Amino acid sequence: MTDDSSRAAPAATRAHAATATASAPRPRRRTRFATQVLLLQLSVVTAIVLLTSAVFVALAVQRLEREAESTALAVAQSVASDVDVRTEVARLSVDGTALDEEALADGDLQRTAVAAQQRTGALFVVVTDDRGVRLAHPDPDRIGEMVSTSPDAALRGEETVSWERGTLGDSARAKVPIYEADAAADSDAAADSDAAAGSDAAAAGRAVVVGEVSVGYAPARVYDTLVRDSLPVAAVAVLALGLGVVASVLIRRRLDRLTLGLQPDDLASLVQNQQAVLAGVGEGVLAVARDGRVSVCNEQAAQLLGLADGAVGRLLGDLDLPEPLVALLGRGPARPESTTLVVGPHVLFVDVRPVRREGVDLGRVAVLRDRTAVEALTRRLDAVGAMTTALRAQRHEFANRLHAVSGLLEIGRVDQAKRYLADVLEHGPLRYPVKHADRLTEPHLQAFLGAKGVEAAEKGVLLQLGPETLVSGSVVEPGDVTTVLGNLVDNAVRAAVAGGTSPAWVEVEVLDDGRDLHLSVMDSGRGVDDEHALFARRPVADPIGDAGADPHADPEADLDPDLDPDLDPDRVHGLGFGLPLSREIARRAGGDVWLASPRGDGHGAVFCARLVGAVEPGGTASAGTGPAGTDPTRTVPTGEPAPVPTPRSTP
């Protein structure tokens, strides 16, 4: 029995679970917002149509009732004013006089009442005496009986209209008093004179009421035109309801199209998430709708592009944006596209993507990433790498010199070893492949130009220092100096290689003036054509000019890889914005970079730069620096394009 119970327990549990699952309420499917709006509009339109129709019917019923009451009153007045009726009723309205019902049923009074009833279509025309006894009635059997409704008001001389229920059913009835025939003229005159004062009692006081006339109209007779009068209203109501349905459906479709089928909760969540994302990401986001208007511009994008507040809602062409970015956003790429721009002091990597939802083109969105810090760091690392390579080569040379000294000492040639060491001390332990390197003693510049000289020598270009070189202070901004000078030297080396002249050379002059540092770089290439194109803000995929004729325009992107085997075409830095970046770095501190000469006799382009605050004044130039016989305190140019240096002969 225990086994049976243990087997039955799981079965009962499963049955209970199945019952609970079956009885559990299913989650209700949420009605779409557009459908809710449609149903609400239909309900409102239907309610308005029904309410309007009900008001019309109520007003029509009131009008028909008033018309029926007026008609009954007019008929009653007409019968009550008949002289024969008045004379006959006055004769019969005598207290204590017995009435002959049969004579009344066949009498003139009955015939007059029946004729009036048939002529006007009334439900009844009843004539009574001054006691309320029927003298004429549609049903002859009821002649001689008291009326079913009170005749007191009419017997007091008052005319009344009302809806009452009598022996013939509900009716709109009017009751009018009957006056004596002899007092007819007096009664009429009194009624006319008292009409202005509204005094029915005064008129009654001058005439004797001998009976009343009661005329009634059945409801069917009253409302027989209601249906006919309501048909146009019903047709208009149906038409209005149909138009309301059509308008509601169209509004629902437009609402679906405008909201892309999203529900209010989804829209609220999207707005909250959008604000959180736009404010939280470090990249700039610029979205453009199909009509070319800016729909989204977060704070980071405004800062990177230099846009003022209020960019949202304006046309893309009305904003001061780089032309390549405007063209990229304006043409609406079918697939994601990327480019790099120099905008102000920023190097931006721009990723433009189309935005679609359910096949509908919503516009384009551009993600802007600031690569300025990465770009500057990369160029500094390049400079450090070049210096490391040069030091590695010179280390080998220094080790050879130490071996030479060690060998001289081992064989006992001490005097020769001393002379060798003196020569090394005089010229320095490291010999960079830079002509006139002794003209520069500043450590940072000496090491950096020495490294660049090694790189230039590997490409068959001689790097030399010009006779105007003189730096008496020390560099305090080596990062900016090496970035600007490195860009100018790299471009000049590539221009010299592309120029095809032999020997190929690059001449650098460095001169300090207080806290400012002046640079001049000249090469043996073919020069440049367009100064504005060199410093233009353009994407890396838009080279300017022909690389063979203008290597400065885009040296790394357009130079033949055979002339520069170390060129990596996939590198982002240096591809077309080295010069713009150098100019922006110089201008941030109040300096500048400019083209002093596009070309000249015996030389190519000459670029000059002025870096403000890059040197800490102090010390005196070492012996041998600067041109022989020159004064270290001579005046130098300060910001304006310097005179073009005269090319010197090269080995």
- DSSP conformation letters of 224-250: TTHHHHHHHHHHHHHHHHHHHHHHHHH
Please state, in angstroms and rounded to a whole number, the distance separating the CA atoms of residues 489 and 584.
17
Strand partners, 510: 519
User: E-strand spans in 312-467?
Assistant: 337-343, 346-357, 360-370, 434-435, 461-465
Residue 264: Cβ within 10 Å count: 10
For residues 495 and 605, the answer to whether their CB atoms sit within 8 Å is yes
Local structure of 348: helix, strand or coil: strand
Residue found by looking up tokens 């980071």 in the block:
300
> Using the 8-state DSSP alphabet, how is residue 590 labeled?
T
Q: Which helix (H) or strand (E) holds 291?
A: none
Among 522, 512, 517, 466, which residue's Cα sits nearest to residue 491? 522
Considering Cα of 81, then 86, then 88, then 94, what sign does the dihedral take? positive
User: E-strand spans in 47-157?
Assistant: 124-129, 134-136
Local structure of 166: helix, strand or coil: strand
Q: Which two tokens stand for residue 512?
A: 């300090």
Q: Which helix (H) or strand (E) holds 211?
A: strand 209-217
pLDDT of residue 508: 95
For residues 57 and 230, the answer to whether their CB atoms sit within 8 Å is yes
Among 481, 487, 496, 489, which residue's Cα sits nearest to residue 615? 481
Superfamily of domain 264-370: PAS domain (3.30.450.20)
The pTM of this model reads 0.45
Write phi, then psi, for 505 (nearest 5 degrees).
-145, 160
For residues 352 and 285, the answer to whether their CB atoms sit within 8 Å is no
For residues 49 and 237, the answer to whether their CB atoms sit within 8 Å is yes
Mean pLDDT split into 10-residue runs, the chain, 651 residues? 48 51 53 78 86 87 86 90 88 69 84 90 89 88 86 88 82 89 53 46 63 88 76 84 85 78 72 64 79 80 76 76 77 72 75 79 82 70 70 70 81 83 66 80 84 87 92 86 89 89 92 93 87 60 37 42 37 51 83 90 91 81 37 37 41 38
pLDDT of residue 26: 54
Hey, where are the domains in the chain? 65-222, 264-370, 431-616
Residue length of the chain: 651
Write phi, then psi, for 508 (nearest 5 degrees).
-120, 135
pLDDT of residue 296: 81
Alpha-carbon Rg for the chain in angstroms: 57
| Residues 6+ positions from 248 with CB-CB distance below 8 Å | 37, 38, 41, 42, 45
Fold matches, 65-222 and 431-616: no
| Residues 6+ positions from 394 with CB-CB distance below 8 Å | 429, 430, 431, 432
pLDDT of residue 642: 39
Q: Which two tokens stand for residue 319?
A: 């904003």
Q: Which helix (H) or strand (E) holds 5?
A: helix 2-23
Question: Cis before residue 140, ω within 30 degrees of 0?
Answer: no
Nearest-5° Cα angle at 612, 608 to 613: 140
Local structure of 522: helix, strand or coil: strand
> Using the 8-state DSSP alphabet, how is residue 437 labeled?
G
Say yes or no: domain 65-222 is CATH 3.40.50.300.
Answer: no
User: E-strand spans in 86-188?
Assistant: 124-129, 134-136, 160-166, 169-179
| Residues 6+ positions from 436 with CB-CB distance below 8 Å | 464, 465, 466, 467, 469
What's the CATH number of domain 431-616, 3.30.565.10, 3.90.1150.10, 3.30.50.10, 3.40.30.10? Answer: 3.30.565.10
CA 85 and chain centroid, separation = 88
